[in-house]
Amino acid sequence: MTPLRASFAFALFALALACAAPRQPWRDTTPPQVLLDVLPRQAIINVDGAPVGSGAREVAVPDPAHRYRFTFSAPGFVPADREEQGAKLSGARLGVVLRPEGFGSARRLDLDDGAGLAGAAALLQRRGAHLAALEYADRAVEVAPEAPLPHRVAGDAALALGRRARAIQAYSTYLALAPEAPDHAAVSAHVEALRGDLTVPPPPDAR
C-alpha cells in the first residue's frame, strides 16, 4: 500500500470511530445558564442552599428536570426566593428586587416597576443607604426616564457618594423634567454651586 493510500485509509478509520463514539448530551458539554439580576447588587445569592456570590451573574442549570431554588438576602431588606424547573430557566433572565424593610408588603417590586423602584430608592436614600438608593434610582431611570423622582433621588445619592458629575447630571435632568417643582429653585442653585466647585481636567492632548 502506498503512503497516500495508507493515509486515506487511516482517515476513513478515524472518521468511522468518531461516528461510532457515543455523543455527550448537550448539557454536559455546554451547561445551560440562567442570568440572575438582583437589586441591591450586594444581595447574597444562594442556589439550592449553596452561596454563589452577589449581584448580577450567570448560574449553570444543567438538569432540565431539577427544580432549582434561589434565595436572595441583604441586610436591611426582606429576603426573597424563587423556584423553577431547569428546563424553563435555560437562557432565561430571572430578575429580583428586594423590598427594603418597612417599604410595605402591599406592593411586590420588580425590575420593570419604575414607580416602585423610585419609591424604594427614596426610602433608601432617607435611611442613608446611598449606594443601594442609587442602584434602585438608576434602574428606575432606565424603566421610566421621563419620571422626575428617580433623577432627583439619583442626584442626592450620587452626591452623598462623592460622584459629583453624576449628581449634576441627575439634578439637571430632574430640573428639565419638573420645571414647576416646589424645590426647583433650590435644586437649581445647588447645581450651580456644584458646577462652580467641580474641576474638570483638561483633555490629554491639551497644551
Residues 119 and 184 in one domain: yes
Considering 96, 111, 126, which residue would you say is the last residue of a domain?
111
Residues 54 and 65 in one domain: yes
Q: Is residue 158 in some structural domain?
A: yes
Range of 84's domain? Answer: 29-111
3-state secondary structure of 134: helix
Considering 69, 86, 111, which residue would you say is the last residue of a domain?
111
**Mean pLDDT value of segment 72-93:** 95
Nearest by Cα to 43 from 70, 66, 24, 68: 70
Q: Going edge to edge, which strands form the sheet with 50-54?
A: 50-54, 44-47, 67-73, 80-85
Overall number of domains in the chain: 2
Residues 140 and 190 in one domain: yes
Q: Is residue 190 in some structural domain?
A: yes
Contacts of 13 (CB under 8 A, 6+ apart): none
| Average pLDDT across the chain, whole number | 85
CATH number at residue 132: 1.25.40.10
- Most confidently modeled range among 25-29, 90-94, 103-107, 142-146: 142-146
Q: Is residue 145 in some structural domain?
A: yes
Residues 66 and 131 in one domain: no
Q: Indicate the pTM of the whole model.
A: 0.79
Determine the pLDDT at residue 1: 54
Separation of alpha carbons 122 and 128, rounded Å: 10
Q: Which residue is listed with cell 430571572?
A: 94
Considering 88, 111, 134, which residue would you say is the last residue of a domain?
111
